[in-house]
Amino acid sequence: MADYAVIMAGGAGTRFWPASREARPKQLLPLAGGAGESLLAATVKRLAPLVPPERIYVVTAERLAEATIAALPDVPPAQILREPAPRNTAPCIAWATEVLLARDPDAVVAVLPSDHHIADEPSFRAVLERAYATAREGACTTVGIVPTRAETGFGYIELGDARGPHARAVARFVEKPDRARAEGYVAGGKHLWNAGMFFFRADVMRGLLATHLPAMAESTRAMVARGTAEAVAEVFPTLQSVSIDVGVMEQAKDLAVVPGSFGWSDVGSWQSAWELGAQDAAGNVLPAGAFTVDAARNYFANLGSGRAKHVAFVGVSDLVVVETDDAVLVVPRERAQDVKLVVEALKSAGRKDLL
């Protein structure tokens, strides 16, 4: 029973404008320091000691395929699955499940996001090993992050009884809570953040899909049996657009969760990029050699194609300045979420060149 990973890398992502664009979404950006390494490349790299690239699959959009292949030179290009149309997560997991079963009927699979950051990689891999082990026993398994703050932007997983040596049963999935409930969750110790990581035996997932999404299960099986790009182009766009959470997980009975604590971040905004960056003594995340006077907790990134820039921040604090070849954003860190206002305005104005 070999372990495999399927990395979900089809996201669009507008929260990192002007850096994130349709042709260069968040997972392809170097948002967590690390010498310009993209979040996607970092995801593959941190898996490698446990799951080598030969056993890693990546699901992405057709239009992102070339960039994704370029970002992951060690992953065999045939293992980059190209969605001809976005259909949410259930269809692409169903597809990957059939692809893996064709390769290895005993495959144990981790489905992982491509655009998160993990500070403590050894702990992360230890949690993954427990999750693979739990899934190997037959349970659909998720990883829950021990919350470090009363976050209202994430879904939560409520812990049930102990289930095997490393896991608990999932009592239920909880939608994004309000502030008061989120505070209760952190204090109570019975709720974990849902980080969108799923582990299962491929044959178990095939069974769950056949039960809960039978049309999808049948179609993807036939599509993979045909084994051609034409089959994917014909069949995939006809699949029901539904998330794996709604379509399968919330219907399934036997769900396990492995708690983890490994410096996880969903890298949700420029604020996160600042938190994850290499801060100087005043908390600035600026290019090497930057000049500062009375400047604290600022963030600057130049994702243009030109050479590095000498940066001078004088008398400003808590500011985000990001530029590309064709755009510049200036916003206080605490308003980093308002980037969406810019993106909405560009959409309204039909500025496809800037999206």
Cα Rg of the chain (Å, integer) = 21
Identify the residue among 179, 309, 347, 352 touching its own copies (CB under 8 A).
Answer: 309
CB of 274 to its own copies, least distance (A): 15
DSSP 54: G
Query: Which stretch, 30-38, 157-165, 209-217, 309-317, contacts its own copies (CB under 8 A)?
Result: 309-317
* 54 touching its own copies, by CB under 8 A: no
CA 330 vs. chain centroid, Å, equals 26
Beta carbons of 26 and 20 less than 8 angstroms apart: yes
* Cβ nearer to its own copies, comparing 26 with 221: 26
* Cβ nearer to its own copies, comparing 18 with 177: 18
What is the DSSP track for 13-50?
A: --TTTTT-BTTB-GGGS--S-STT--HHHHHHHHHTTT
What is the DSSP track for 141-163?
A: EEEEEPPSS--SSS-EEEEEEEE
Identify the residue among 38, 43, 141, 298 touching its own copies (CB under 8 A).
Answer: 298
* Cβ nearer to its own copies, comparing 171 with 282: 282
Q: Which residues contact 227 (CB under 8 A, 6 or more apart)?
A: none
Q: Two tokens at 219?
A: 């179609």
* 288 touching its own copies, by CB under 8 A: no
Query: Which stretch, 7-15, 121-129, 131-139, 305-313, contacts its own copies (CB under 8 A)?
Result: 305-313
How many positions of this chain bind its own copies (CB under 8 A)? Answer: 37
Distance CA 259, CA 145 (A): 6
CB of 323 to its own copies, least distance (A): 7
Can you tell me which residue has the tokens 């604290």? 296
Total count of residues recorded for the chain: 355
* 90 touching its own copies, by CB under 8 A: no
* Cβ nearer to its own copies, comparing 157 with 322: 322
Distance CA 237, CA 92 (A): 11
User: Binders of its own copies among 12-41, rule CB under 8 A?
Assistant: 17-18
Distance CA 129, CA 46 (A): 13
User: Binders of its own copies among 310-349, rule CB under 8 A?
Assistant: 310-316, 319, 321, 323, 325-332, 335, 338-339, 341-342, 345-346
> Dihedral angle at the C-alpha atoms of 155, 38, 12, 80, nearest 10 degrees?
-100
* Cβ nearer to its own copies, comparing 156 with 313: 313
CB of 349 to its own copies, least distance (A): 8
CB of 75 to its own copies, least distance (A): 34
CA 211 vs. chain centroid, Å, equals 27
Q: Give the footprint of its own copies on this chain (CB under 8 A).
A: 17-18, 291, 293, 298, 300, 302, 306-307, 309-316, 319, 321, 323, 325-332, 335, 338-339, 341-342, 345-346, 351, 354
